[in-house]
């Protein structure tokens, strides 16, 4: 965990708002200590020209609204593979995104504000610094913490537990053993939600050579139908083929795309089990929790358990709140920190 320098202590008796933020590749979620929440797509758009500006009557559009009007906008997706891009336009877009979600929960009002922002488990020192510098304009104190650790903190599973957080940009695997996780406790890879989308598009285009399919179309179908293993009903979607719209099956393509992330997950789980204290390895392998949007892939816990039979078995469960799990955990962690902890580390 890291903090922004020159943080003020919360003033006893003053109005303090604690905030948890999950600044994700696909979604940005926020939770506050006064019970407010919001989640939007991590997309920012600015009008391409004066005509677009007059038509839209806004200089910045966020989330789904930006995607709806994307043909008239310059689009920014400032988080890539779980990391804030180190480009002026993307940093400004991320600032606007953070300010927008703060305003959506009245978090920009006159209170002391202390926030913890979830970041990928192996985010670089530079990435963390960029995020803290960017966020420092909006908070009296700001820290960054590992996203999967935030999920574990929300679950209350802080000993002999493994979190597999499957986001859009990264899959983060973290073992938790009563302390803040160190570098050896965490593994991160980029085979996650966006990787599935790209594979899904590629496989559809291989099967239907004249089909026109975008990553956005693939993402929406994935979020609605994703699965691994076997399913009983064919998945039929409307695919643009040349100038026609045809109803075609994409079951095989979606299955293979979703299953493409499994080998790296199993490899990461195996490594973190094999390097854990031997006396507690069996407890660790029986306390594996899936989090993030990818945890909603149908049949995933059962298929992972089947693959884990080759490494001694295991028990995989799902954390039930893929949208706000990380933000809620970051909020809980922020609220539990003593005042002196917000000073410079």
Number of domains in the chain: 3
pLDDT tens, residue by residue, 141-165: 899 998 999 999 999 999 999 999 9
* Mean pLDDT score of the chain: 90
- Mean pLDDT value across residues 70-82: 89
Distance CA 264, CA 92 (A): 34
Same domain, 120 and 206: no
Last residue of a domain, one of 240, 259, 278: 259
Last residue of a domain, one of 211, 239, 259: 259
Of 71, 10, 62, 11, residue with least CA distance to 41: 62
Query: Residues 87, 32: one domain?
Result: yes
26 and 86 in a single domain? The answer is: yes
User: In terms of domains, do 216 and 335 share one?
Assistant: no
Angle made by CA atoms 183, 150, 9, in degrees to the nearest 5: 95
Per-residue pLDDT at 343 exceeds 60: no
- Say yes or no to pLDDT of 80 above 50: yes
Give the distance, in angstroms, between the CA of residue 243 and the centroid of all CA atoms in the same chain: 36
**Do 25 and 94 belong together in one domain?**
yes
The model's pTM: 0.88
Largest interatomic CA distance in the chain = 67
For residues 166 and 114, state if they share a domain.
Answer: no
Residues 105-126: what's their mean pLDDT?
A: 82
Same domain, 132 and 214: no
**Residue 270's domain is classified under what CATH number?**
3.30.420.40
- pLDDT at residue 335 tops 60: yes
216 shares its domain with 182? no
Co-location of 159 and 31 in the same domain: no
What percentage of the chain carries pLDDT values higher than 70? 94
Domain extent for 138: 2-150+324-342
pLDDT interval class at 339 (50, 70, 90): confident
So what's the pLDDT on residue 345?
36
Q: Is 60 found in the same domain as 48?
A: yes
Do 277 and 174 lie in a common domain?
yes
179 shares its domain with 232: no
Give the confidence band of 83 by pLDDT, cuts at 50, 70, 90: confident
Highest mean pLDDT among 32-46, 98-112, 118-132: 32-46
- Of 89, 85, 140, 107, whose CA–CA distance to 29 is shortest? 107
């Amino acid at each position: 965990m890291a903090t922004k320098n020159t943080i003020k202590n919360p003033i006893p008796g003053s109005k303090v708002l604690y905030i948890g933020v999950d600044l994700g590749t696909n979604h940005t979620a926020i939770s506050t200590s006064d019970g407010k929440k919001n989640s939007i797509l991590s997309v920012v758009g600015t009008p391409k020209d004066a005509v677009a500006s007059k038509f839209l009557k806004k200089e910045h559009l966020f989330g789904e609204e930006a995607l709806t009007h994307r043909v008239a906008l310059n689009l920014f997706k400032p988080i890539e593979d779980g990391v804030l891009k180190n480009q002026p336009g993307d940093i400004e877009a991320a600032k606007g995104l953070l300010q927008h979600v703060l305003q959506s929960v009245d978090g920009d009002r006159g209170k002391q504000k202390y926030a913890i922002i979830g970041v990928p488990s192996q985010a670089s020192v530079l990435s963390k610094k960029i995020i803290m510098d960017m966020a420092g304009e909006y908070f009296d104190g700001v820290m960054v913490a590992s996203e999967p650790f935030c999920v574990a903190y929300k679950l209350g599973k802080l000993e002999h537990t493994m979190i597999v957080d499957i986001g859009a940009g990264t899959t983060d695997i973290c073992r938790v053993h009563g302390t803040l996780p160190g570098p050896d406790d965490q593994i991160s890879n980029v085979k996650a939600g966006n990787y599935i989308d790209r594979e899904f598009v590629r496989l559809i285009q291989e099967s239907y050579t004249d089909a026109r399919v975008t990553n956005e179309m693939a993402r929406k179908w994935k979020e609605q139908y994703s699965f691994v293993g076997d399913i009983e009903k064919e998945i039929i979607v409307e695919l643009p083929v040349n100038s026609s719209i045809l109803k075609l099956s994409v079951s095989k393509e979606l299955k293979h795309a979703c299953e493409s992330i499994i080998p790296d997950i199993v490899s990461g789980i195996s490594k973190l089990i094999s390097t854990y204290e031997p006396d507690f390895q069996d407890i660790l392998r029986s306390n594996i929790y899936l989090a993030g949007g990818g945890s909603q892939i149908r049949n995933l816990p059962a298929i992972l358990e089947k693959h884990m039979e080759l490494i001694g078995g295991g028990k995989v469960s799902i954390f039930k709140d893929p949208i706000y799990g990380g933000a809620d955990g970051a909020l809980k962690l922020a609220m539990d920190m003593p005042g002196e902890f917000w000073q410079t580390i």
